[in-house]
A and B are shown apart, each in its own frame.
Chain A
Amino acid sequence: MSDSEDEAAFASADEGEEVNKPALPAASAASGKKEKANTKGAAQPGAGGATATTKTSSGDSATAGKGEQTKKGKGRQQQQKGKKKGKASSQPSPKEDSKTESDEKKASDVPQTAVKQSKSDEDVTPKTEATEKEQSVPQAKSDTSKSSQDKEKGKGDKSAGEDKTASKSDSTVSPSKSAEVVQSDNEPGTTTPKKERSAEKESVDNQKTVQAGEVRKGLGAEMSSPEGQDIPRELKDQATPKQDESAEKSSGGWGWGSWGTSILSAASSSVQTFTTQVGDGFTTIIDTMESSLGVPDPGELAQAKEVKEPEDEGKSASADGEKDTHPPQEKSSEGQKSSAMDKRVPDKDVKEKSEEKPEEQKEAESSSGNSWFSSWGVADLAKKVQDTGKTLATKGQTLMSEGFDAVENLAAGGIDVLETIGKKTYSTLSEHDPALRKTREFLSPKADKPNLSSVLREAKDQAEIQAEQEKENEEARKAHFGTLFDDYQGIAHLEALEMLSNQSEKKVHSLLNSLASEDLTAIKPVLIAIKEAFEVNEDDDDDADLAAKDQDFTSLVSQHLSELELGTAPDKLNKVHEMVKQWIVDFDANESHDSESVKNVHQRSIQSLAELTSKGVEQFHKAGELVLLERDTDKDCTERAHSLARLTGVLCHEVGNMATKFAGCLNKMAEQEESSDEITALVTNIYLEASNSSTYLQDAFQLLLPVLQQAALEHSINSRHQS
């Protein structure tokens, strides 16, 4: 999650929190009510059952349920508003659960007045409960209470979040801190990903996985229709979008009521099973939690339900309720850890179910939406529903309210437990993590958050690197053959020579086209001879006998140039050659090469190669120009071609010689210095550039072919005209 999102989440969570506040009374009312039930169950085992038995008949329950729904509807709407504000609602499952839960609970303490009464109690009861629990729980808390687990718990359990929000009002714990923990839960948009994340974490943590698996297995065994439990965990991820979808639909589904009636009838049966399942799941959770945390015996609670449930609809839930009492007790030893897992598990179960029966859920949602509608006073709609006379619909409604009751029960029972856990968690966490800094960092990774100082530092580093690079480039430039070759105008000469060559080539073609056939036959051998002169050179045959031998460069060059009879003197070439020669002599004379660094020698060698090559290319360029200029001379072009070929050979050989000499210099230095690796690289570079240099010279030479051919053609044409 990016930071901006994170912040947004924080913001919206704050918002949601505030919005939740108005909803708190309702929630706490429920909790108060449940508390009552709990305490009742705890204090007077028989009384719980008694209350349950006093439960209203089915006829009553319809009206009572309605009335309660109206009240709950408000609370729920508020809740939902809060959710909406938080972004998109993401917890249709808890909602669903709350419905079913309340359904079940309603049986035990239906009367609306009781709820109101308990509301007044609420401020007192939770606190006492909390203290009670603090005494009973410690073993669980002192257990391990891994921070990650706690976090997970916080994330995974929506009800925990609600609970904490509720507890926030009266708890002395720094509000902002607890709010923070709650945020992740309250913020619907982030709930799903976080759940997923926790799932991931779970998979990472084997221990946790095992526990979760155990719990889930236990639940699965208890479930009346266990198909849902077998769904691989990965599917949860797939389930979540669906959940969201359905949640969205439900949030937008207030209007569904208009046509919800038809769906209602179809759905009610499935809703019933679903509700039962959910209810069962929650019963299990409550029991597990309460037992593991030392909450008043859940068995009694279950019994109370048991009593009314078969009566009511003959659901199989009661049996489950009884069964539920066993595994939790087994797990109670696992303490907080397992309880944390337990709390998270129901969510998943519900999710799995919702994944399994998304349609059902949607239907249930819509039907619930409908019921909310009617309870909100949309009389005709309600009437319609009733007028259809479908008892199923009524049943569905009853189920809904029962489910809601159950959730309220869960919430109430869980709220205090969770509050205690939350408090303890916080204190445990903050013991090792003052101000929860690490936790916060963990929850909201700031890894990719751009911060000014780091940006500035980065920019500074970059500038430094760039400056260094430029400096390096400048350094490299001094030893870069191509650049130096350009500096010595070698490239310009080559370019000019190329232009000249292209022009000559065009001219040759046009001349050949204009020639009569007998003239063409006459000139053809000459052109072929010139071409052959240019081809021979490529074999470097001249080099063969001169190889590794120090040649008299100056005299050879002068000789070949004079053979050209173009009136050009190899002044520049000779000058460069002399310079290089002198430098190498000086280098050899100097025994301690302290004055010369390896880098300097390398630079010098590349520079010399580039200069010599440039001058060589220039020589070829000039030769080309002069050949064209002095086309009237009787000098045989084939001879010129051979002379030029020999010149190329001499130049290329000289380049090789120079490279060898410079490499020798460097190798001498390598003997004295340790950085032989560097020197090897430099020597390689010298030889590479020497081959580059030869290529340039060869290219320049080859560019002269059309020039000489043009000269030969024009000469033959001229002489023909003259004769």
Chain B
Amino acid sequence: MSYAYLFKYIIIGDTGVGKSCLLLQFTDKRFQPVHDLTIGVEFGARMITIDGKQIKLQIWDTAGQESFRSITRSYYRGAAGALLVYDITRRDTFNHLTTWLEDARQHSNSNMVIMLIGNKSDLEARREVKKEEGEAFAREHGLIFMETSAKTAANVEEAFINTAKEIYQKIQDGVFDINNEANGIKIGPQHSPANQNMPAGGSGGNQGGGCC
């Protein structure tokens, strides 16, 4: 499907906070209680609509393991939005936020929209980090804040879409240079040659797409 914009997201945060589950919930609308450890980076994509425009979200789900840090850092570049995730049932994941934030700020463009997400909100009984703390941290660092549950899908959609809205607004305000792909925004291939390269279905076109 054609889209007006493509936004690149990265999901960062300590291992086990539920990054891959959030992605799976957002892209496949399903929850997988047991998830393989992410190696390096995994990907997900979904189309959303903002202001009547089709926007494709290309989400890079990074490995949270400390050992992968050096590798995942290289993927920050060119992200328009970042979901910084912590686990409300594990205070240490909240405590590491500053390091993650520094990393993100250092390795990505300064206009990157960062959404702070306190995941596993369904596990209210085991909560270690109050919502207010999260809000305070977000306010302090100029982030958007939201508590989500990948399990119940609460706020998952909103977390991704609100981030996209923020990015979209920044585009409208001219903060983002959409022609600079380092900003993590690509203009859709609606009228790009990509479509013309597609072989006409019936006639069995003989033109192959793809780059070399």
Contact = CB atoms under 8 A, between A and B. Distances in A.
Interface of A: 472-483, 485, 487, 489, 492-493, 496, 499-500, 502-503, 568, 598-599, 602, 621-622, 625-626, 628-629, 678-679, 681-682, 684-685, 688-689, 691-692, 695-696, 699
Given A476-B199, A599-B202, A621-B40, A499 B75 contact: yes
Given A487-B45, A499-B78, A688-B208, 5 more contacts: A472-B201, A482-B209, A568-B39, A602-B204, A689-B210
Given A625-B68, A625-B71, A492 B43 contact: yes
29 contacts: A472-B202, A476-B198, A476-B201, A477-B1, A477-B198, A480-B198, A482-B194, A483-B209, A485-B210, A489-B45, A493-B43, A496-B40, A496-B41, A499-B75, A502-B74, A568-B39, A598-B204, A599-B202, A625-B40, A625-B41, A626-B39, A629-B40, A629-B71, A681-B204, A685-B208, A688-B207, A689-B208, A692-B209, A696-B210
Interface string B194-206: 1101111111111
A678 B208 contact: no
Interface in B35-72: 39-41, 43-45, 58, 60, 67-68, 70-71
B43 A480 contact: no
Contacts of A691: 208
A682 B77 contact: no
A184 B13 CA distance: 83
Contacts of B67: 629
A472 B202 CA distance: 8
Contacts of A472: 200-202
B212 A695 contact: yes
Given A496-B60, A681-B205, A682-B204, A473 B74 contact: no
A492 B58 contact: yes
With most chain B CB atoms within 10 A of its CB, the pick from A475, A478, A496 is A496
Interface string B64-105: 000110110011011000000000000000000000000000
A480 B203 CA distance: 13
A474 B208 CA distance: 16
A622 B68 CA distance: 12
Nearest to B208: A688
Contacts of B194: 482-483
B201 A479 contact: yes
Contacts of B78: 499
A679 B202 CA distance: 10
B39 A492 contact: no
Contacts of A699: 212
Nearest to A624: B40
A706 B77 CA distance: 19
A489 B60 CA distance: 10
A484 to B, nearest CB: 10
Contact of B204 (A502, A621, A678): A678
A120 B72 CA distance: 108
A629 B68 contact: yes
A625 B208 contact: no
A473 B199 CA distance: 8
A613 to B, nearest CB: 9
Given A629-B68, A692-B210, A685 B40 contact: no
A661 to B, nearest CB: 18
A475 to B, nearest CB: 3
B10 to A, nearest CB: 11
> What 4 A-B pairs are tightest by C-beta distance, nearest first?
A475-B201, A482-B209, A625-B40, A476-B198
B71 A685 contact: no
Nearest to A477: B198
Contacts of B212: 695, 699
A478 B200 CA distance: 11
Contacts of A503: 74
Given A492-B60, A496-B41, A692-B208, A476 B71 contact: no
Contact of A678 (B198, B203, B210): B203
A602 B43 CA distance: 27
B31 to A, nearest CB: 20
A622 B210 contact: no
B40 A481 contact: no
B43 A489 contact: yes
A625 B39 contact: yes
Contact of B199 (A499, A679, A685): A685
Contacts of B71: 500, 625, 628-629
Given A489-B45, A492-B60, A625-B40, A481 B74 contact: no
Interface centre among A473, A480, A502, by most chain B C-beta atoms within 10 angstroms, is A480
A7 to B, nearest CB: 38
Given A499-B77, A500-B74, A625-B71, A481 B208 contact: yes
B204 A482 contact: no
B120 to A, nearest CB: 26
A692 B197 CA distance: 13
Contacts of A599: 201-202, 204
A699 B211 CA distance: 10
A681 B40 contact: no
B210 A473 contact: no
A481 B75 CA distance: 25
B198 A685 contact: no
B203 to A, nearest CB: 7
Contacts of A692: 208-210
A681 B60 CA distance: 37
A669 to B, nearest CB: 12
A673 to B, nearest CB: 13
Contacts of B201: 472, 475-476, 478-479, 599
Nearest to B39: A622
A368 to B, nearest CB: 65
A383 to B, nearest CB: 78
Contacts of B205: 476, 681, 685
Given A489-B43, A489-B45, A622-B40, A476 B200 contact: yes
Given A493-B43, A625-B40, A482 B199 contact: no
B184 to A, nearest CB: 12
Contact of B197 (A482, A602, A626, A679): A482
B43 to A, nearest CB: 4
Nearest to A499: B74
B4 to A, nearest CB: 15
Contacts of A487: 45
A691 B39 CA distance: 29
Contact of B195 (A473, A492, A629, A688): A473
A483 B210 CA distance: 8
A485 to B, nearest CB: 7
A183 B44 CA distance: 73
B143 to A, nearest CB: 25
A481 B210 contact: yes
B194 to A, nearest CB: 7
B84 to A, nearest CB: 20
A495 B78 CA distance: 11
Contacts of A480: 197-199, 209
Contacts of B68: 625, 629
A632 B71 CA distance: 15
A707 to B, nearest CB: 10
Nearest to B195: A473
Contacts of A625: 39-41, 68, 71
Give the residue among B45, B60, B201, B206 with the most A Cβ atoms within 10 A.
B201
A568 B36 CA distance: 12
A692 B199 CA distance: 14
Nearest to B76: A499
B206 A688 contact: yes
Contacts of B198: 473, 476-477, 480, 483
A691 B211 CA distance: 11
B205 to A, nearest CB: 7
Contacts of B195: 473
A250 to B, nearest CB: 57
Given A482-B194, A689-B208, A681 B75 contact: no
Interface in B106-161: none
